[in-house]
């Protein structure tokens, strides 16, 4: 309660304002953390996509074989690639699956077919 002629904020008004500021700040920081995590995941998937397409292109340019190898470029440190080539019913066709791993988890798999000509 204010007395006549008294200026300023009461203790209850100040506590309410600080509480409201705290709620708004917590919401903002939560949103910021979520955005940061989403950005990291999107960046990881984009890098994995580029790397998987590079590996698949390398496999396509090599002669038909039972297995393929690829050296990961230094700019993709922390990433590994697994290449699985499986013969299909027709012995001239292979299903090639390139799986990209980052920090010991699968990030992306890319499938394609290779034909022996």
How is residue 1 annotated by DSSP? -
**Using 50, 70 and 90 to split pLDDT, how confident is the model at 5?**
low
Is residue 49 packed enough to be buried (19+ CB in 10 Å), middle (13-18) or exposed (0-12)? Answer: middle
- Tell me the whole-structure pTM to 2 decimals: 0.73
Residue 83 in contact with residue 70, Cβ under 8 Å?
Answer: yes
In the chain, at which residue ranges do the beta strands (DSSP E only) sit? 79-87, 93-102, 105-115
**Using 50, 70 and 90 to split pLDDT, how confident is the model at 10?**
confident
**HSE of 23 in the Cβ direction (CA atoms, 13 Å)?**
5
SS3 70: coil
**Mean pLDDT of the 66-87 span:** 92
pLDDT at residue 81 is higher than 80: yes
pLDDT at residue 15 is higher than 80: yes
- Model pLDDT for residues 88-115, shown as the tens digit of each residue: 887 789 999 999 999 889 999 999 999 8
């Amino acid at each position: 309660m204010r007395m006549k002629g008294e200026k300023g904020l009461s203790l209850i008004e100040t506590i309410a304002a600080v509480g409201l500021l705290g709620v708004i700040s917590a919401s903002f920081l939560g949103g910021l953390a979520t955005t940061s995590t989403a950005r990291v995941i999107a960046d990881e998937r984009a890098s994995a996509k580029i790397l998987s397409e590079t590996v698949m292109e390398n496999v396509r340019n090599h002669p038909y074989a039972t297995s393929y190898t690829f050296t990961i470029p230094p700019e993709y440190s922390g990433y590994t690639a697994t290449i699985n080539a499986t013969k299909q019913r027709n012995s001239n066709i292979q299903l090639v699956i390139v799986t990209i791993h980052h920090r010991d988890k699968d990030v992306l798999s890319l499938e394609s077919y290779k034909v022996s000509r």
